Amino acid sequence: MTNKLDLKRCDPNLAREIFSEFVEYNPETGKMFWKVRDRKWFVNDGSWKRWNNRYPEKEVGSLSHYGYRVFAVFNKLHRVSRVAWLLTTGAWPEQEIDHIDGNKTNNKISNLREATRQENGRNKHYAYGKVPLKGVSRYKHKYRAHMTVDKKQVHLGYFDDAESAHAAYRKAAEERYGEFWNPGDRGL
């Protein structure tokens, strides 16, 4: 077999078959582990033996600088979340994969869903700026509530305290974004 194969661009059935040979995915834990590999995937007996002595039953990959668990197959990086989707559904996701709970390392299939870039962005847990509440910023001596709709900033009002501004953001975001809204106050 060639190591020039780009699994992201080939037939999803072939990609699924190859990944199924290389990794074991547990949809309930979200963990993915290397399997023992067949000799056909190696250029010589030495590399085949070294691989099978070192990697089987170890969790695949490492964390990328974006916080996703990634691993390489045929010299191409793959996100565990996308491969998990392929192995579970039989197709590559057509859009982005959103981690419902916001934890990029929680790859349980129940925590993964397809989303547009905008939907995925709405599910972010963090706030920008000096106020630690999503949808809230300081404006002179007040707190401004705002959200982004169709790439445009929408003003929701000025408030005397950050909590009231955040409550206005939460209400508007829940109404506008539906299942993809995120209050952004995890850990507060």
User: How does pLDDT run across 115-145, given as a tens digit for each residue?
Assistant: 988 888 777 766 556 677 888 888 888 999 8
Answer with the residue of higher pLDDT: 181 or 109. Answer: 109
Domains of the chain (ranges; CATH) run 12-115 (3.90.75), 119-180 (3.30.730.10)
User: How does pLDDT run across 64-110, given as a tens digit for each residue?
Assistant: 998 999 999 999 999 999 999 999 999 999 999 999 888 899 999 99
Q: What angle do CA 14, 15, 17 make, to 5 degrees?
A: 65
The pLDDT value recorded for residue 98 is 93
Average pLDDT over residues 139-154: 86
The pLDDT value recorded for residue 188 is 39
The pLDDT value recorded for residue 92 is 94
Give dist(CA 47, CA 133) in Å, integer.
Answer: 52
Residues with Cβ within 8 Å of 118's Cβ and at least 6 positions away in sequence, in order, are none
Examine the pLDDT at 173 and tell me if it is beyond 90: no
Average pLDDT over residues 170-188: 72
What is the residue-averaged pLDDT of the chain? 88
Give the percent of the chain with pLDDT over 90.
57
The pLDDT value recorded for residue 11 is 86
